[in-house]
Amino acid sequence: MNMKYVKRFLLVLLILFVFTLINFFVIRGHYEFRFMVDPDKTVNAFVSFDRDDILEITDIYVSKKNMFCVKVKAVGSGAVNMTVHYGDPEMEDETRKIRVTRLGIIYEEGYLGSVGNLMILRYEMAFLFLVTFINLFIALKKIKKINPYSYANMYYIGALVFAGVNLFFWLLSIVLSTNVWKDRLFMLFSEITSIFSRLPMILFPAVVIFSILLIISNIVLIKKEGFALHNMLGIGLGFVLTFMTVFTFFLYSLMDNIIDVHSYRGMHVELFFELAFFGILSYLESMLIGTIIGSLKAQRAIPDFDRDYMIILGCGLKKDGTVTPLLKGRADRAIWFAEKQKEKTGKDLVFVSSGGQGEDEAVPEAVAVKNYLLSCGVEEDRILTEEKSCSTYENMKFSKQVIQDNNKQQEPARIAFSTTDYHVFRSGHLANELGLNALGVGARTKWYFYMNAQIREFAANLNAQKIRHILNVTYIVVMLASMMALSYFYSIL
C-alpha cells in the first residue's frame, strides 16, 4: 500500500480521535431545557426533580427569544423526571422525562434530537470541509503539474466546487443563523443531510436553461451534420438532468401512493430516496462542472513559446481535396502560434501535418494541410507529413515517430499540437498516454458543435474514471442509508 495514503488515513484517525475527546468534554454533563411559554407567566415558576442525585440546576432565565430556559448539569446517571411548576392557575405544570448516561450525556426521552451543546460539532464540520477543500486544491495543483490533460483534473475541480459551495454555506449558517434549536441534534442532522441537496437547489435554474440549450444545440447539430448516436448526447443529458431535478420535487407525492410517508417509518424511507436522488444528481452536476471548467482551462492555455514542433491534427477534407473550415481553423491556429513564437523568441518551429486518406477523400489530410501551409507562405522544409493515421490516437502515435526520426538534437523535442478547442483536452490526454509530452492550442468552432462536444467530454470523463465514480456514488448512497437508519432507531428526526 502507498505510504502516502497510509499517512493520510492515520492523520484522519488522529483528527477524529482529537474531536472525540473534545466532544466528550464539551457535550457531556450539561444541557439546557427550553419551554415555549409566555415569559410574563413564569415569574413565580420553579423546577423540581423526583431525584436529587442525577441533575443539578445551574441557571434559570428568560432568553432573548422569550423562552423559559433551565440549565442543568449532570451529577450522576440514570432516569429522572423534571417538573416545571409555573405557579399560574391558567398553566399546567410540565414534566419531562430525562436520562443521563454513564458518560454524562443528557437527553430527553421522546423529544426529538434532544442532545444539546452541539455547536462544537458545527465548527468541526466547517473545519473538515476546509481541510477537504485545501487537500483537493493541493491534489489538483500536483496533478496539473504532472499532466494537465488528466481526467483526474476534472474530478478534482468538480470535487472542489462541491466542497467549496458547502463550506461557504456551512460557515454562513454558523455566522448568520438565529434558530434557537441550532445546538440540537435534529437541526445538525438536517443540515448535514442538506449537504447533498444544496448544489442541485442552487443550480436548478441554470440546469433548466443549460438543458434547453443542450437540446436546441443538438437539434441544430443533427440538421447541420446529420443524425448520429453521438450527436444525441446533449439531448439525452438535458432530459436526464431536468428529469432528476424535477423528479425529486415530486418524489414525496409519488411515494405517498406507495407507502404512508406521514408515518415515522415512511418519512425515513421517503427522505432516503429523496436524498439519494439529490446526492447522485449533485455528484453528476459537480463532475459536469469539473469537466466544463477543466476543458475550458485546457482550451485557453497557451504553451510556452519555445516549441520545436507543431502537430496539426486532421479532421476531414472537402470533395476537391482542400481543407474544410474546421481543418483550416486548426492550421490557422498553428500558423498564429508559430508567428507569435518567432516574434517573441526568434525561434522557428517545424509543422507536422497529420492525417491519412479516407475512402471518400481525394488526398491524405496531411497533404491537404501541407498545401494550405505552403499557400500561406510556410517554407516547405519546415513541414513534415504523417499520412497513415485514421484517428486522433494514431495522429499522435505516428506523429511522435515522425518527430523522433527528424529530431537531431540531444534534448527531447518540445512539442505543441493544434486542434479544435473542444478537442484539446482529449487530444492531450491521448498524447500523454503515448508518452508524448505535448501541449495544445485550440481553434474556435461553432456553438452547436461545441456544446455537444463538451457532453462527449463529460461522458469520456465518467468512462475514464468509472471505478472511482461508481465507488463514490455507492459511498454516498450507503452513507445516506446509514444516516437514515441512525435517525430511525435513535429518533433523531
Other C-beta atoms within 10 Å of 386: how many?
26
Q: Are residues 137 and 261 in the same domain?
A: yes
Are 231 and 91 contained in the same domain?
no
Strands of 350-354's sheet, edge to edge?
A: 383-386, 350-354, 309-313, 415-420, 438-443
Whether the full predicted model's pTM is greater than 0.85, yes or no, is no
Per-residue pLDDT of the chain (493 residues; tens, 9 = 90+): 467 667 777 777 787 788 778 777 778 888 888 888 887 777 888 899 999 899 999 999 888 778 888 999 999 999 999 999 988 877 888 898 999 988 888 888 876 667 877 788 888 888 888 988 998 999 899 888 888 898 889 999 999 999 999 999 888 888 877 777 777 788 888 888 888 888 888 888 888 888 888 788 778 877 766 666 666 777 777 777 777 777 777 776 777 778 887 888 888 888 888 889 889 989 988 998 999 899 989 888 899 999 999 999 988 788 888 898 889 999 999 999 999 999 999 999 999 999 998 877 788 999 999 999 999 999 999 999 999 998 899 999 999 999 999 988 778 899 999 999 988 999 999 999 999 989 999 998 877 777 777 887 888 888 888 999 999 999 999 999 998 888 887 666 6
Q: Do 136 and 213 lie in a common domain?
A: yes
Identify the domain boundary among 77, 108, 139: 108
Instruction: Give the total number of structural domains in the chain.
Output: 2
- Whether residue 176 is contained in a domain is answered as yes
Distance CA 385, CA 104 (A): 79
Are 94 and 123 contained in the same domain? Answer: no
Domain boundary pick from 108, 142, 173: 108
Query: Final residue of a domain: which of 84, 108, 132?
Result: 108
Range of the domain at 50: 30-108
Whether residue 179 sits in one domain with residue 50: no
Rounded-to-integer distance, Cα 385 and Cα 311, Å: 9
Residue 452 lies in a domain: no
| Sequential DSSP letters for 395-452 | HHHHHHHHHHHH--SSSPPPEEEEEEGGGHHHHHHHHHHTT--EEEEEE---HHHHHH
**Rounded (5°) CA angle 457-463-467:** 140
- The answer as to whether 333 is a domain residue is no
Pairing mode, strands 94-100 and 106-108 = antiparallel
Same domain, 178 and 246: yes
Residue with grid cell 448516561, as numbered in its chain: 101
Residues 127 and 96 occupy one common structural domain: no
Residue 425's pLDDT is what?
Answer: 92
**DSSP secondary structure code for residue 323 in this structure:** B
**Grid cell 486548426 in the structure block, residue:** 330
**Are 60 and 164 members of one domain?**
no
For residues 285 and 162, state if they share a domain. yes
Residue 5's SS3 state is helix
Query: 425: closest CA among 191, 168, 65, 148?
Result: 148
Lookup: cell for 415: 512539442
| C-alpha closest to that of 439 among 422, 450, 457, 427 | 427
Position 180 in a domain: yes
Classify each residue of 179-205 as buried b or exposed e, where b means 16 or more C-beta atoms within 10 Å of its C-beta: ebeebbbbbbbebebbbbbbbbeebbe
Q: What is the pLDDT of residue 1?
A: 47
Strand order across the 46-49 sheet: 46-49, 78-85, 94-100, 106-108
**Inter-residue contact 335 to 378 (CB < 8 Å):** yes
Residue 76 in domain:
yes
Q: Write down the residue that cell numbers 449537504 correspond to.
A: 195
Q: Domain for residue 5, yes or no?
A: no
With H, G, I as helix, E, B as strand and everything else as coil, classify residue 114.
Answer: coil
Distance CA 371, CA 296 (A): 31
Identify whether 328 is part of a domain: no
| Residue 197 neighbours by CB under 8 Å, 6+ apart | 248, 274, 275, 278, 279, 282
* Phi, psi values for residue 117, rounded to 5°: 60, 40
Say if residue 242 is in the same domain as residue 96: no
Q: Are residues 92 and 160 in the same domain?
A: no
Element (H, E) at 107: strand 106-108
Q: Are residues 91 and 140 in the same domain?
A: no
CA distance 272 to 493: 13
Is residue 126, in this structure, part of any structural domain at all? yes
